Amino acid sequence: MRATRFRPAVAAAAAAVMAISACSGGGGDEDGGQTTVTVDGGQPENPLIPANTNEVFGGDVLDTLFSKLVRYDPETAEPENYVAESIETEDNQTFTITVQEGWAFHDGTEVTAQSFVDAWNWGAYGPNANLNAYWFEQIEGYEEVHPEPEDPEADPPEPEAEKMSGLEVVDDRTFEVTLSEPYAQFPMKLGYTAFAPLPEVFFEDPEAFGREPVGNGPFQFASWTDNQEITVEAYEDFAGSHPAQVDAVTWRMYDDREAAYADLLAGNLDIMTRLTPAAMANEVYKDDLGDRYVEQEAGLMFTLTVTGNEEGYDDARFRQALSAAIDRESIVEEIFEGTQVPSKGWAPSVVIGAQKGACGEYCEYSPERADELLQEALDDGFEPPEKVQIWFNDDADHREWVQAVVNSINQTFEGDLEAVAKPVPTFSEFRAGINEDKYTGLLRTGWQMDYPHLENFLSPLYETGASSNDGDYSNEEFDQLMADARQESDEDAAIEMYREGERLLAEDMPALPIYTARTITGYSEEMTNVEVTPFGVPAFANLEK
């Protein structure tokens, strides 16, 4: 998902955008008709509501429809105030936020302080069961609106309140946010989708809104045909400093990525956000596209997440053995032609606080060490699963690399252990199965940064009860490190705590890092300006055709 800036300043992420530009004014086409950019996409997992969308297909659309308090620079990912005129604090616990004048929703109503407070309260309220409710947990009063059951298997108790006590509207343009404890990085998060404002019309019928959202961003919603396409159109009265440069963007939903690439080559698709492994093999895409591609290391990485501590996976040495059995370098070279980066930890290098080699020996290919770790576990009575099942969605470019992981594991253990690939037809079906605890084994998981900080690759994925903790990992020491780091006002000290937490993941191995994305985005001859951000997605407002 996405990234920020506020006052005081936050260090920029060490990443640069790659862009192409040619002589063009953008916007119109030769016959004066509407200029529409077509992009490959997929069916969103949920209705298009900011508080309930935490996957890339829905997130990309929402980020064109909504502008947040903070904007992430498309070149550096550095956070900067946007809808916010200022975000001020003296103690990193109470923040006074002033909303700029002149911002309006696409239905013409004004964006006010109340628009944010009401949206955040609705997002956090437990009975609404929002996937992004977790993002509001630092706000005072969250536990009263989103109580957790003492028994994880039980239904949650009724909330004691409908609104968080830590949110207070001061006037039309000002509101205060009081956190339950100091959290120096809080303003950096405010560019994430969950913190978008909502218009009054949302609360009249959230379900209908999710099909036809009304935002305040550079594009406004136009249409959505399930499993076919979503279209947004430029909003003429946009108040921000970065308006849309084309008339419309349409995401076309593909089950077959090769079909998307064929459409790109035929001129029937303007942008393919990530080229297929077949296109990258022997650098075929360079012959096919010439210079019509953008290469960018992105805040996006892929892992294999262990599905909890089920019997057969409940020994860390076994999980470490699996990791050491994976030849990441060969997979990157043979499957991706060296265009991706073998992972040596749980965060990409583009984020603030990234450390080298956090995974240590367990992310280095060593059949000997893998055998040793497995034998140690077996000697202590561990019983491995009959087959190591690796689950993945088969409507994207995962089959080849997942099968390569399977082959590497099988070759390493030479019959003592068998891995098998388990495809699921679509991303939506795959995510639904994860949420229903349907799978046992390893899950193909990926994370696109929401903001450019190491914390974003740790807390949402591995803290106990976090919304994107697909493996239900739980470690009290890790949780405490995350909590302590959030309260630390000294950024260097906080980063060291986050790094220590990342090193704990090497001891437990709740997820096996595989590779970090270096995005290669292809585009058609019609495009005259394409930028790819450190988040690995096009800067949609800046597209020109």
**Contact status, residue 117 vs residue 200, Cβ threshold 8 Å:** no
In the numeric block, the tokens 């998902």 are attached to 1
**Contact status, residue 515 vs residue 397, Cβ threshold 8 Å:** no
Q: What is the pLDDT along the chain (545 residues), one digit of tens a residue?
A: 432 222 222 323 323 333 333 333 333 444 457 999 999 999 999 999 999 998 889 999 999 999 999 999 998 888 899 999 999 999 999 999 999 999 999 999 999 999 999 999 999 999 999 999 989 999 999 999 999 887 767 788 899 999 999 999 999 999 999 999 888 889 999 999 999 999 999 999 999 999 999 999 999 999 999 999 999 999 999 999 999 999 999 999 999 999 999 999 999 999 999 998 889 888 899 999 999 999 988 898 999 999 976 778 999 999 999 999 999 999 999 998 888 999 999 999 989 899 999 999 999 999 999 999 999 999 999 999 999 999 999 998 899 999 999 999 999 999 889 999 999 999 989 999 998 999 999 999 999 888 889 999 999 999 998 878 999 999 999 999 999 998 888 889 999 999 999 999 999 999 999 999 888 999 999 999 999 998 889 999 999 99
**CA-based nearest residue to 474, from 306, 239, 302:** 306
Which string of b and e fits 412-447 if b means at least 16 CB within 10 Å? bbeeebebebbbbebbbebbeebeeeebbbbbbbbb
How many degrees, rounded to 5, is the angle at CA 180 between CA 176 and CA 185? 75
Domains of the chain: 18-249+524-542 (3.40.190.10), 297-517 (3.10.105.10)
Task: Give, to the nearest 10 degrees, the angle between helix 367-379 and helix 316-324.
Answer: 160
